[in-house]
Structure 1
Amino acid sequence: MHMTDVLAAADISKAVAAFAAADSFNHKQFFVMCGLKAKSKDDMKKVFHILDKDQSGFIEQEELCLILKGFTPEGRNLSDKETTALLAAGDKDGDGKIGIDEFVTLVSES
């Protein structure tokens, strides 16, 4: 499955371009701009599985820094500061990673 199976390519490109500058990433705005927030929980779970590159059932810090590249190869890596902030926003149980339910909550609350 590809990200464009769930989200419109134009929306992904627009959202990734909006956060091209270092330390500009805002997950709440990004999830709205790319159209993910408006999708069903099932679609959010599909996106989670795409972003969970190692299929561990979690998006770990190493995968979080690549989140924009998960949406499109043209995306940039998040900075350490951005990755830490995203992890803090999504990791509700404090285990250092984001599970599928935490991801759905993170997107829904955006």
Structure 2
Amino acid sequence: MAMNSILNADDIRKALDAFKAADSFDHKKFFEMVGLKTKSADDVKKAFLVLDADNSGFIEEEELKFVLKRFAADGRDLTDKETKLFLQAADKDGDGKIGVDEFTTLVHE
């Protein structure tokens, strides 16, 4: 499944363009811009499954670094700082990875 089967391709493009600069990524604004924030819990779970590249049931730090590429192939890599901040914001139980419930909570914050 591709992100553009869940979200509007134009919204994805605008969001990726808005965060092209290094250290500019803001997950709250990004989720709002791509339209994920207003999606149902089922659609958010589908997006989670796309982001969980290794199908482990979690989004680990290494997968987070490439999260924008899961929205579009030409998305940039997140910087180490952005990756750590993103993980810190989502990882409520402190296990170093993001589960589907944590992701859903983060998207709808």
- Report sequence identity in percent: 63
Scaled by the length of structure 2, the TM-score of the pair is 0.99
Output the aligned Cα RMSD. Answer: 0.4
Unaligned runs of 5+ in 2: none
Q: Which residue does the alignment assign to 1:80? A: 80
Scaled by the length of structure 1, the TM-score of the pair is 0.98
> In the TM superposition, what whole-angstrom CA distance separates every residue of 1:50-90 from its partner, at most 9, and x where no partner exists?
00000000000000011111100110000000000000000
Q: Which residue does the alignment assign to 2:27? A: 27
Q: Which residue does the alignment assign to 2:17? A: 17
Instruction: Report the residue type matching 2:69 in the other structure.
Output: K
Instruction: Report the residue type matching 2:104 in the other structure.
Output: V
* Separation in 1, partners of 2:89, 2:70: 19
Runs of 4+ in structure 1 over 4 Å off: none
Q: For residue 37 of structure 2, give the secondary structure of its aligned residue in structure 1.
A: coil
* Separation in 2, partners of 1:26, 1:2: 22
Residue 91, structure 1, aligned to residue 91, structure 2:
yes
Instruction: Report the residue type matching 2:88 in the other structure.
Output: A
Unaligned runs of 5+ in 1: none
Q: For residue 24 of structure 1, give the secondary structure of its aligned residue in structure 2.
A: coil
Higher helix share: 2
Q: Which residue does the alignment assign to 1:63? A: 63
Q: Which residue does the alignment assign to 1:39? A: 39
* Separation in 1, partners of 2:102, 2:72: 22
Q: Which residue does the alignment assign to 1:54? A: 54
